[in-house]
Each structure stands twice: as structure tokens, then as C-alpha cells.
Amino acid sequence: MKQVGVLHVITDTTIQSRFTHAQLAEMAIEGGADTIQFRQKTGTTRDMLNAAREVQAICARHGVPLIVNDRADIALAIGSAGVHFGQDDLPIVVGCTLFPPDSIIGASARTEGKVMEAIAEGADYIGFGPIRQTSSKPDAEAPKGLDALTRMCEIAQCPVIAIGGITVEDVYDVIRVGAHGIAVISAVCGEPDPPAATQRLVAEIHRAKRD
């Protein structure tokens, strides 16, 4: 089974403008993040490609996998470790034919049916959320909460990565109900000290997995 990380830090330059994608990746890795996700919704494809290349170079230097959100073309162009598809993006089954067999393919799924469909098509992990209210995604659905997350972790035959408004205070409970890990934006990118914020999240994940 492919190694899916437990702390996916999604770099973002929309909710904050102090740091670039590359700077955020560097700081998150310094703090202990074991996966970086590159997500950029605006700008030209060329700008996105250049930014993703910078992040890929940092991840490669540290031996941390980079997963590109949504954009299969960018992921293929930079040779990232994997790609994450939303429910309205390229079908998982198509993505699996485009990428090398050792690539990590993630999929967002918000219902039991979509979870099973994504797994059947070859997803290596499921991103499920939003767990809490989130401001980083304008079209985010209503929060799913821990009960729905528990159910998804029970039915999914692959790691579940919880996402959406998760704070350091939530991490313990999220992991204890069965999530393999978490994906965060604001909890690192929006914090005054991203490396320290990442360290706190990592510590909570490991505490929950130990108990």
C-alpha cells in the first residue's frame, strides 16, 4: 500500500499574502508536515506551473511528497508524487491511466456513494469534509461533523484525510474517530508562525494515534 501522509499542509496564497507557496512549503516541512499539497485556483497556467515547480524542488530536497490539487497537467509537468481530484475534476479512473503506478491519487468525496465510487476507481485516499465551518473555500458545504467522519472512516477501505476548518483543538478527536490524517490550510498558512503551528498539529496527531 502507498504511504499516505498524516499531515497534508495545503499551501495557499488567497487567505494570506505574506508568504509564497514555496515559503509555506518550506516552513510546513520544517514544522514536521509529511505531505505538501499545492493548490492555486487563480492566475495563468504558466504562473501556476512556475510556482508548483518551486514547491516541487523544496519537497524533493526534503524527501516529502508533493500532491497537486485539481490540475493533472501541472502535476504531470513537474513530476509530483501525486494529484488530488475534486468531485468535479477529472474522473479518478482517467487520472489513474495518466500517472505512473506509484503516484498517490487522492479524491474528495462527500457522500458514501462517492467514497465507494472513488475507491473502486483507484483512489489511494479519500479527502472528506468540511469537518468544521471553513472560510478558505467560498463554495464549501455545511460542516459534516465528527459523526459523518466516523461513518466514512468505517466504510472507506483506504485512508481518510479529514479537511475543512480543522484547528489544533479538533485534531485529537478527528484522529480518534478513525481519520488517518488531516489536511489544513488556515491552521498553518493563516497562523503567525507556520512552523510552530505545524509542530502543534503534528504533536496532536501523534498523541491521538498513541492513545
pLDDT tens track of the chain, all 211 residues?
689 999 999 999 999 999 999 999 999 999 999 999 999 988 999 999 999 999 999 999 999 999 999 999 999 999 999 999 998 889 999 999 999 999 999 999 989 999 999 999 999 999 999 999 876 655 667 899 999 999 999 999 899 999 999 999 999 999 999 999 999 999 999 999 999 999 999 999 999 999 8
Residues marked active site are found at 39, 108, 137
Give 31: exposed, middle or buried? Use CB within 10 Å, 0-12, 13-18, 19+.
buried
- pTM value is 0.95
Q: Where are the domains of the chain?
A: 7-210
At 145, list the grid cell. Answer: 461533523
The C-alpha angle with vertex 23 and arms to 183 and 7, in degrees rounded to 5, equals 20
DSSP one-letter string for the chain: -----SEEEEE-SSS--SS-HHHHHHHHHHHT-SEEEE---SS-HHHHHHHHHHHHHHHHHHT--EEEES-HHHHHHHT-SEEEE-TTSS-HHHHHHHS-TT-EEEEE--SHHHHHHHHHHT-SEEEE--SS--SS-TT-----HHHHHHHHHHH-SS-EEEESS--HHHHHHHHHTT-SEEEESHHHHTSSSHHHHHHHHHHHHHHHHH-
CATH topology of domain 7-210: TIM Barrel (3.20.20)
At 57, list the grid cell. Answer: 524542488
